[in-house]
Amino acid sequence: MSAALRPDPARLDPRRLRALLAKELTQILRDPSTFLIALVLPLLLLFLFGYAVSLDTSRTRIALVLEDSGAAAQSLAQAYENSRYFDVALLRASAPAKELMVEDRSRGIVVIPQDFSRRLARGTAPVVQVITDGSQPNTAGFVAAYAKGVLGDWAAARRPALARALAGTVTARPRFWYNPGLESRNFLVPGAIAIVMTMIGTLLTALVVAREWERGTMEAMIATPMTMAEFVLSKVVPYFLLALAAMAMCTVLAVTLFGVPFRGSVLALALVSSAFLLPALGLGLFVSTVTRNQFVASQIALLASFLPTFLLSGFLYEISSMPAWIRAITFLVPARYLIPPLQTIFLVGDVWPMFWRDSAIMAGFGVGFFMLSLRATRRSLD
């Protein structure tokens, strides 16, 4: 191309940009896989995290060994059976209860001893033994805490003085803010929205430039007077809008179908979502430009975006509980700065200092990825 016909790379021509956008939108409408990833996959992920995946411990299987036949012991056993946290197997001896735990048919054992009613009648605080399966530490902790809670509630309903004796000199009254029911759905579903935007923003964008090279249309586009900035924008804008539409759909379903509270504003949600889409789209475009192969691009996009978002963003695992060197790596994961604002918007409300800070960091990641993409996008067949 001669110098006279070479376009100015700093100039955006609205007419050329509209033509390129129309071409990309037509490509999206003709490609069924785009709609599968943009519409069907978000619904599957949302239903999966809304219904199938749960970190709640309701109806945990336990064995209740009732060695005392007194009225007080029977009343306490009934309290455990009526608890919504336990699925109780009532037994009279410890040996069968241990067998249930060894066979993985029980997560814990609660033993009401023979002298329970007698100690209670003398005014002495009775002892209840709780045995948990330590092979699953989290569940073991929940079983122990809930078993103690049932005992405390039963004692408080029976005699306040007995409850104080069972609890000791200090009584804890826990209060949970923002998610008082401790329902895991309320923080899993907002996290699933982040997964959806990652999949659409990075995975779909990772295919667009590679598809042009594989189909041989990139050579024809290079011969046109378009600038690389116009080319990049035409590849990014449609998927930016598509990801925002998927996010809006998931938000409506989260509130209406799954009952997740939405205490923030639509403006805050749009801000943090748009800021996150910048690094998501930029990463996908960079991978697509470098690889020029759809299969390779999709695999790298999954490894570079989906897995870090799923494992290192705080979505499922607390970052503070990770080893120090893993925590250092999480600072390089853009989704780390999306999950807390998303959960805050749904459960707490608008906390703008957090939103501005995290949005600025995500935008910085996005600028870096787009600069790399522009440098890698050349008007050359090499």
- For the chain, domains (ranges, CATH) are 14-53+183-376 (no CATH), 60-167 (3.40.1710.10)
Report how far residue 22's alpha carbon sits from residue 295's, in angstroms, rounded to the nearest whole number. 25
Residue-wise pLDDT for 49-106, tens only, equals 777 666 666 678 899 999 988 888 898 899 999 988 888 999 988 889 888 888 878 8
SS3 readout for 41-107: HHHHHHHHHHHHCCCCCCCEEEEEEECCCCHHHHHHHHHHHHCCCEEEEEECCHHHHHHHHHCCCCC
Provide the 3-class DSSP secondary structure of residue 348. Answer: coil
Query: Where residue 170 falls among pLDDT bands split at 50, 70, 90?
Result: very low
Residue-wise pLDDT for 221-263, tens only, equals 777 777 777 888 888 888 899 889 989 999 999 999 888 999 9
> Is this model's pTM higher than 0.85 or not?
no
Q: Do the beta carbons of residue 213 and residue 174 sit within 8 Å?
A: no
Q: Do the beta carbons of residue 19 and residue 161 sit within 8 Å?
A: no
Token duo for residue 2: 């001669």
DSSP secondary structure, 104-172, as one string: TS-SEEEEE-TTHHHHHHTTPPP--EEEE-TTSHHHHHHHHHHHHHHHHHHHHHH-HHHHHHHH-S---
Which of the residue ranges 2-16, 129-143, 158-172, 317-331 has the most confident prediction, judged by mean pLDDT? 317-331
237, with CB counted inside 10 A (0-12, 13-18, 19+), is: middle
With tokens 């999306």, the residue in question is: 338
